Structure 1
Amino acid sequence: MEDPAPPVVPASANGPRWRYYDLVMAAFVTILILSNLIGAAKPSFITLPDGTDWSFGAGVLFFPISYIIGDVLTEVYGYARARRVIWTGFAALAFMAFMAWIVVALPPAAGWGGQDAYEQVFGNTWRIVAASMIAFWVGEFANSYVLARMKVWTKGKALWTRTIGSTIVGQGLDSLIFYPLAFYGIAGWPPELLWQVVLSQWAIKTAWEAMLTPFTYLVIGWLKKREGVDIFDTATDFSPFARTQG
């Protein structure tokens, strides 16, 4: 598979105003919020050819798209601007958790019978909220860091190696952190199910990334041409807490 067409001009992270950066950020935050709100706490399963049921977290079907967008952000706009988006997503998750806590805690109006269902869907425990936010923070920063470093090492060649390689690291950390922190020791989540879900999450997320590699190539190539840049993080401060300029 060929790499995306060369961009117009290499640039630093302090380039001009971007035409599509805000739209990519919006897509990232939207998918992040919805995948955590709708699919994170539900285990599902598929039946393997030998008749065995293999369990996985339902959110795995959509959450990996946020990592693909994270790859696009780092590859096109550089680590510094990807860092800004990661912090934006983190703030959005925090607000979602705060809003859910307030709304669930409000007393229901007389005659409304949906409180129990509402609490079951939106009343995530502090463990799930904390696990989700920690796993996201660690996984996304690891994903962006690995991709940015690999881009310099490979001199911008073999895009697929860094999109998949960064996903193996980032999604692996995400799954390894989230499920044990959120569900270990909880009824309905025996250890064997928990670790099966962790491993299946990791495998499915990585497989998703690999399957969508042609799409990732198209998006990255198109954005580089439209934005006219190709950012290499050769002198970037990779601290998650560094100030992002521009």
Structure 2
Amino acid sequence: MLKNILTDKASKLFIVLGGFFVANAILAELIGVKIFSLENSLGIAPLDLNVLGIDGLSFNLTTGVLLWPFVFVLTDLINEYYGKRGVQLLSYLTAGLIVYAFAMVFVGIHLTPADFWPQSHINPALPVDEQEMLRSQVGNYDAAFRLVFGQGLWIIIGSLVAFLVGQIIDITVFQKVKQLTGEGMIWLRATGSTLVSQLIDSFVVLFIAFYIGADWSLQLVLAIGVVNYIYKFSMAILMTPLLYAVHYLIERYLGEERAATMKQDALINY
């Protein structure tokens, strides 16, 4: 049985796509604690947007947005060749592993550090002024670890709920569009399903994490959600050529006949 899985191209492809899917989603959750300025990273002035009456908004985004577009592409690829069941399996598995990852991080946060570790980043051989600079930047490794990885419970809940809701919507829209358009117009079912699912995702995570969990005003939540969706909308469009490129590589790997059979089965078994 194991030999068949390791030699069957469709099985190996599912393992590879699924592995990248899970890895990207978990990494996006872990590195998402950092908020970065898109404009400053690109070397341009902040846009200073006014959305729904909220002034001074710019593209200050979670670092997880670097990886989520790849999760969206992988979702559509798996949906194309393995159907609803394939995406659901990986989505539920990923959600469970994210919970597991945060549980292990929680345990790690509460372990008592070794005596030397909290100051281990400060090399005693360095000049005193450099040591003081390091202390002022990161005075205590353990405190920094707790601060970086100790996300609020509402943020974790919001992120998980938004992920699962977004995946369910993406699966449904993708398959409905494919039923209407057939094999053509890959961009419509893939990019279109991503745009719809991320419209919901952008507001669900903010509503749970900050409207319920942090008492933000609904106006502020909606305004920031609009800014986040503008970014996700733009990335979904920009990622479309990559989707076509990977489709081409998969078709060559599987062969046209096998690929066509898998796509038909994925649609029939929806």
TM-score, length of structure 1 as denominator length: 0.80
Listed as ranges, the gaps of 5+ residues in structure 2 are 1-7, 40-45, 51-55, 119-139
- What does the per-residue CA deviation read over 1:164-204, in whole Å, with 9 as the maximum and x for residues that have no partner? 21011211121111112112366796655533331122221
Give the C-alpha shift of residue 160 in structure 1. 0.7
TM-score, length of structure 2 as denominator length: 0.73
Aligned: 1:24 with 2:17? yes
Report the CA distance shift for 1:171/1:109 in structure 2 as closer, same or farther (over 3 A): same
Give the C-alpha shift of residue 127 in structure 1. 0.9
Partner of 2:81: 76
Query: Which deviates more from structure 2 when the two are superposed, residues 186-195 or residues 203-212?
Result: 186-195
Partner of 1:39: 32
C-alpha contact (below 8 Å) 1:76/1:224 kept by paired residues: no
Listed as ranges, the gaps of 5+ residues in structure 1 are 1-14, 238-246
Aligned-partner SS, 2:12: coil
- Partner residue of 1:101 out of 76, 97, 106: 106
Separation (CA, whole Å) in 1 of partners of 2:99 and 2:88: 17
Separation (CA, whole Å) in 1 of partners of 2:268 and 2:231: 34
Aligned-partner SS, 2:59: strand
- Partner residue of 2:153 out of 122, 126, 132: 126
Partner of 1:142: 169
- Partner residue of 1:158 out of 185, 202, 207: 185
Aligned-partner SS, 1:217: helix
What amino acid is the match of 1:167? T
- Partner residue of 1:172 out of 199, 203, 216: 199
Partner of 1:195: 222
Separation (CA, whole Å) in 2 of partners of 1:174 and 1:84: 19
Matches within 5 A, 1:79-90: 79-90=84-95
Report the CA distance shift for 1:110/1:45 in structure 2 as closer, same or farther (over 3 A): same
The size of the alignment, in residue pairs, is 223
Aligned-partner SS, 2:11: coil
Separation (CA, whole Å) in 2 of partners of 1:20 and 1:206: 28
C-alpha contact (below 8 Å) 2:211/2:221 kept by paired residues: yes
C-alpha contact (below 8 Å) 1:55/1:197 kept by paired residues: no
Separation (CA, whole Å) in 1 of partners of 2:76 and 2:10: 20
Higher relative contact order, structure no. (Cα contacts within 8 Å, ≥ 6 residues apart)? 1
* Percent of aligned positions that are identical: 24
Give the C-alpha shift of residue 108 in structure 1. 2.4
C-alpha contact (below 8 Å) 2:36/2:60 kept by paired residues: yes
- What does the per-residue CA deviation read over 1:118-166, in whole Å, with 9 as the maximum and x for residues that have no partner? 1111111211111111111111121122112211111121111111210
Separation (CA, whole Å) in 1 of partners of 2:10 and 2:94: 21
- What does the per-residue CA deviation read over 1:22-62, in whole Å, with 9 as the maximum and x for residues that have no partner? 11111111111111111256263531288965133222232
- Partner residue of 2:269 out of 236, 239, 244: 236
What amino acid is the match of 1:142? I
